[in-house]
Amino acid sequence: MNQPQTPDQTRPSVHAGVNRFLDEVRESGILNYRSESLPTWCPGCGYYGITQGITQALSELDIPPHELVFVSGIGCAGRYPFFMKGYGFHTVHGRTLPIASGVKMANPRLKVIAVGGDGDGLAIGGGHLPHAIRRNVDLTYIIFDNGIYGLTKGQASPTTPQGQITATTPYGNPEQPLNPVMLGLSYGASFLATGYAGLPHELMHVFKAAFSHRGFSLVIITTPCVTFDSVNITYDRFRHLWHPVPPSHPISDIRSAMMLAMSGEHYYGVMFAEDRPTWDDRWESIKQNARRK
Ligand code: SF4
Ligand code: MG
């Protein structure tokens, strides 16, 4: 019969396990993309899984930190540039995309990654999304969609489901939520992918595809806010709901992508991708035409 172990007996094996895990993390290279500031997000926040996916993708693509710029607005995701190695710009509420576009236009050699929540990106900043998309500036925009305002303590956001009780809707949210995937597709994004914070390895593949796309890549991540949402996007509820985008899905077919977006199912992966001239390509050709005149 096994004898119960005292805390002193268990400690060496626990320490060995933790040390082994830390060695694996160091060897993976993902710490090369993390600053020395530790994240201030709540324990269990989905943003940790998203960060795991982003850093793994950057490491696999071997993008040097000095070529990276993280741009954010306001919200829990707004703190992102502080926690990452590279250049960073924590901008004002909802203005992530104009700033990120300007950074890329000013220095096309930089890899620009814009991040923000559903409130920052789809409410106050929602008017910027169609214009960044139609310009097809070569950057990646990641929406951390937790269906709630987290930083300001749990108000209903543009993606909060109808009927949900929140700090601002104590008798249930009367409004219909936005479908950000349909928004991105109907605005004409040249790349759109989805993912779930609870599947960081799968997210890594999604981010690798997004960072490799030439043009505006929109990535919409569903992520639990463990502090202010215990009913909608929870790890328990979403654990078994996710499926990969079917291998038979033609990713250059916008109608098929829209069918997936409207299906009510939860898919992760690349839904739509198309090669098309970027803003920079068109700007170069305008400059050449102007010089000839
Ligand atoms: Fe994450 Fe919600 Fe905490 Fe913000 S409030 S850090 S979104 S769990
Ligand atoms: Mg939010």
For 260-283, the pLDDT digits (tens) are 999 999 999 999 999 999 999 999
| Mean pLDDT (whole number) for 131-154 | 97
Quick one: which atom of ligand 1 is closest to the CA of 223? 7
Residue 282 C-alpha to ligand 1 middle, in angstroms? Answer: 40
The share of the chain scoring above pLDDT 70, in percent, equals: 97
pLDDT value of residue 8: 56
The count of other CB atoms within 10 Å of the CB of residue 88 is 18
> How do 111-117 and 140-145 pair as beta strands?
parallel
pTM of the predicted model over 0.85: yes
| 144 pocket-lining for ligand 1 (C-beta < 6 Å) | no
- Give 25's pLDDT tier (boundaries 50, 70, 90): confident
Note the pLDDT tens digit of each residue in 50-106. Answer: 999 999 999 999 999 999 999 999 999 999 999 999 999 999 999 999 999 999 999
- pLDDT > 90 fraction of the chain, expressed in percent and rounded: 89
Given this model, what pLDDT does residue 69 score? 98
Residue 42 Cα to ligand 1 midpoint, Å, equals 5
Encode pLDDT of 219-233 as tens digits.
999 999 999 999 999
Give me the pLDDT at residue 178, please.
Answer: 97
Atom of ligand 1 nearest to the CA of 75: 4
- Under the banding of pLDDT at 50, 70 and 90, the label for residue 29 is confident
Report residue 110 as tokens: 């930089």
Residues whose CB is less than 8 angstroms from the CB of residue 105 and which lie 6 or more positions away in sequence, other chains included: 137, 279, 280, 283
- For ligand 1, mutation pick of 151, 152, 153 (most atoms within 8 Å of CB): 151
